[in-house]
Structure formats: structure tokens, C-alpha cells
Amino acid sequence: MSQSPQELLTALRAAPPLVQCITNYVAMNIAANVLLAAGASPAMVSDAEEAGEFARIAGALTVNIGTLSSPFLSGMRAAIEGAQAAGKPWVLDPVACQATALRRRTAADLVALKPTIIRGNASEILSLAGEASQGQGVDGRDSVSLAEDAARWLAVQTGGVVAVTGESDFVTDGTRAARIAGGSPFMPMNTALGCSLTGLCGAYAAVADDPFDATLAALAHFAVAGRRAHEGAQGPGSFAPRFLDALHAVTPEALGAEAEIRALESVGA
């Protein structure tokens, strides 16, 4: 039985999950505030000496290569090992993985560890699947529709869920797929909202039975809050506080009513 975004937000707010976020320096504060506003409990714990131990007690782990360095990478590996040993879900955000040899290699190594969920922009997902990418650094420059086949392929390779975000979002586990509409054009003008969404995917994965349902709920929560925050915003600056307020104000019932999720035909069903 699948769990709806409404049910999952109810569960999240009833028992805020502890989410270990190994994320970049740009995202640390923003992502923590996004998770708190949505109803989760973030902790930015990344050093290899404690990251594996922490992953065992957290509800989920998220790993983001935005400001990649050797210490970060050691922490990621320790944390992933801890999460897997404890049977906890983990989410990969392959920031700018098309940009340099180090990022391509690191992202491929992390994908080989079979993340429960991968969340990236279209340029990143295309690159992970070995296809040409127009990404410019951390910014996506490809359309989500162009990356849908790459996402399906990647989901089959990993046995996990892949989410491609942009003007409208796409989620697949290789069999099921859905598109999520909403959000705001001010979102890509606010740095690290994608990184924050990766954290929220972890929060929902911690409370959900199925990571596909968790990903849909996280993306729908962002899409609904983004659309609400857009009303009355004058630009990216005034959008930002409205977005945090909206993440907090959205009730499970409103999420159920306002989410625009369109299920696509299952492949091979």
C-alpha cells in the first residue's frame, strides 16, 4: 500500500526524524532551516571519526558533493557504511558532477554504492548516466524531460529512486514514474534549495515505508510551498523567507489538496 504525501507529512510532524546531512558549506545553514521549517531534525555531522557512528542513530543520511574535498569524502564513505549497516536510507545529491574529473569519478563511485534516492538537476542526472550535459557548474542547463530516460536507466542500475528537478520534476524507481508541478521561478535563484530538497528527501525517507513515496512527498511539499511563497514575492530575496514560512505552514491536508502529482504509466507492469 502506498503512503500519500498527506500521510507522510502527518508522520513526519508527529515524530520529527533525525537527518544526518553531509552537505556543502553553502547549503549547511539553509538546508538546516528548511528541514526545521518542514518539521524534521537536521544534523550536519560529517567528520569520518564520527560520521559512521552518527549514521547508525539517524533516521536517514544525505550526502552532497557540492564543496567536495578529501575530508568530506572520507566522512561520506564512513557515513554510508554506517547507514547501510543499520539499514537506514541514504540520499545522494551529485552537485555539478559533470564539471570535473574528480566530480565525475566521485559521483560514479557513490552511485556504485547504490543510494536509496538520487536527487539532482537534469544536467547532473544526464551526466551520471554518461550522457552529454549542458550544466554550468552547480546550475542545471538541461530540461527535465531530456533527462527522464537517463533517470529510468539510473534507477534500474542502482535499484533505487531517482528524482530530476527543474521547472517541473520527474521521479522514477525504474518501474513507476510521476511528474510533480508547482514551485516558483525564484527557486533556482536561491542557492542551495536543491541541496535542501535532498535533505528533505532524507527526512521523508526516514518516515516512509517506500522511498518512491518519500520522494514524491518531499518534492510535492517543496512544489506546494514554492507556489504559495511566489504569491506576493517581489524577487528571490523576498521569496526566501516566504518559502520557509510556507514549508512550515503547509498542513498535511493542504499538501494532499494542493499537490500536483501526475502518475505516469508503469514500465513493464
Ligand X SMILES: Nc1ncnc2c1ncn2[C@@H]1O[C@H](COP(=O)(O)OP(=O)(O)OP(=O)(O)O)[C@@H](O)[C@H]1O
Q: Counting Cβ atoms within 10 Å, is residue 256 exposed (0-12), middle (13-18) or buried (19+)?
A: middle
- Asked whether position 95 contacts Mg ion by CB under 5 A, the answer is yes
Give me the residue whose beta carbon is nearest to ligand Cc1ncsc1CCO. 66
Query: Residue 258 CB: number of other CB atoms within 10 A?
Result: 16
Tell me if 147 is assigned to a ligand binding site: no
The site for ligand X (CB under 6 A) is made up of: 95, 120-121, 138, 140, 165-167, 169, 183-185, 187-188, 191-195, 197, 222-223, 226
24 interacts with, out of Mg ion, ligand X, ligand Cc1ncsc1CCO, none, CB within 5 to 8 A per kind: ligand Cc1ncsc1CCO
Listed residue (16, 30, 28) closest to 244, CA to CA = 30
- Asked whether position 31 contacts Mg ion by CB under 5 A, the answer is no
- Asked whether position 194 contacts Mg ion by CB under 5 A, the answer is yes
Tell me if 165 is assigned to a ligand binding site: yes
Listed residue (49, 89, 92, 46) closest to 69, CA to CA = 46
The site for ligand Cc1ncsc1CCO (CB under 6 A) is made up of: 24, 26-27, 66-67, 95, 138, 191-192, 195
Give the separation between CA 211 and CA 217, rounded to whole angstroms. 10
Dig out the grid coordinates for 216 from the structure: 514524491
Q: Where are the beta strands (DSSP E) in 103-216?
A: 117-121, 161-165, 169-172, 177-181
- Identity of the residue, 21 or 27, whose beta carbon is nearer to ligand Cc1ncsc1CCO in the bound complex: 27
Residues at the annotated binding site? 44, 119, 165, 192
